[in-house]
Amino acid sequence: MKKLALGLLVTLCVAALAYVLLFMKEKPAASSSSESVSQQSEPELNIYKKADTLADIQEALDYEISQNPDTVAWLQVPGTQISNSVLQAHDNFFYLRQDERRHADVYGCYFADYECSIGARDVLSHNTIVYGHSDLQDSPDGKRFSQLHHFTDPDFAQENRVITFVTPTDAMRFEIFAVFYTDVGFDYIEPEPSGGIAALAATAKEKSLYDYGVNVGNDDHILTLSTCTVQYGVNNHNYRFVVMGRLLGQDDPEPEKTAITVKGAQ
C-alpha cells in the first residue's frame, strides 16, 4: 500500500509541475513594482486567525475542527509561514488536491499519514508523518512545504530548531535532528518502523545536511515533514526533501542553540 501511495505521489508531482509551469507561462506580468509587492504580500491561506502563541493555536485548532472534523492537529515551523491545521483521512490520497475546507486546490493541505495514530504524546505513532506539496521549484518563498527549503540555509537551520505540533489533547515540541534529501528507496514513512525508530533516525542523520548532535533512541517519537524536490532535476520525481524532529518532554527546556555542523565543511 505504501508503494502504491508513493507511486501516486510521483504521478501527482508530475501533474503539479505541469500546472505550475502552465501557470507561470500564462500569468500576466505585474503592471508595476507596487503591484508585484502586493501580490507577494497576500496571505498564503485563508485561515481563522494568525496563530502566534500557544493560546492562539489552540483557539484556531478548535475552530478548524468545527469546520472540518478531519482536522487532527496544528503544525507550526519557526521562521516560515507554515502555521496551519493538519488533516487526516482514511487514505493518503483524499487531501492531495483538497484544502482544509475540501475545496479543490493544487497545493492541497498539510495532511498526516492515514496510518499514524495522532493525539496526546502517549498515543502518538513512533513516527508521525505529515505531507505537504511544494511549488516544484524548491523556492523557500513558495507555498506550503516549499518553505521547508529554508532549512538548506545553514544560518536558518542554526536559528530555527523546534517545531510545534499541537493536538486537541497535547501541545508538543520536536527538536530538529535531520534535514535531508532522499530517494523514495528509503522508507522513512513507516509510522512504526520495522527496524525501530533509532535505526530509521540513524539513516536520516547520515543523509542530513547537518549534524545537530541530537540523539534518538527506540523509545523516542519523531515528527517527519515530507515534500517533493527538484534538487536532482525537474524530470526526476523520485526524490523528497525531509525535515525530522525528536519529541521533547513536557518539562524539557528549550534546547540550547549549540552550533550545528555542516556536513563536508571543515
Residue 217 belongs to what H/E stretch? none
Amino acid at position 149, single letter: H
Averaged over 249-257, what is the pLDDT?
A: 93
In degrees, rounded to 5, the angle at the alpha carbon of residue 91 between the alpha carbons of residues 81 and 139 is 25
Q: In this predicted structure, which of 50-54, 130-134, 171-175, 217-221 has the lowest mean pLDDT?
A: 50-54
Averaged over 92-104, what is the pLDDT?
A: 95
- Collapsing DSSP to helix, strand or coil, 178 comes out as strand
Q: Is the pLDDT of residue 232 over 90?
A: no
pLDDT for the residue 46: 52
Q: Is the pLDDT of residue 3 over 80?
A: no
* Model confidence pLDDT, tens digit, residues 43-57: 345 556 678 899 999
* Model confidence pLDDT, tens digit, residues 131-152: 999 998 999 999 999 999 999 9
pLDDT for the residue 182: 96
Number of alpha helices (DSSP H) and beta strands (DSSP E) in the chain? 5, 10
Burial of 68: CB neighbours in 10 Å, binned 0-12, 13-18, 19+: middle
Q: Is the pLDDT of residue 227 over 90?
A: yes
Q: Is the pTM of this model over 0.85?
A: no
User: How many residues belong to the chain?
Assistant: 266
pLDDT for the residue 189: 97
Please give the torsion angle defined by the CA atoms of residues 187, 190, 195 and 197, in that order, rounded to the nearest 10 degrees: 110
Q: Is the pLDDT of residue 40 over 60?
A: no
pLDDT for the residue 29: 32
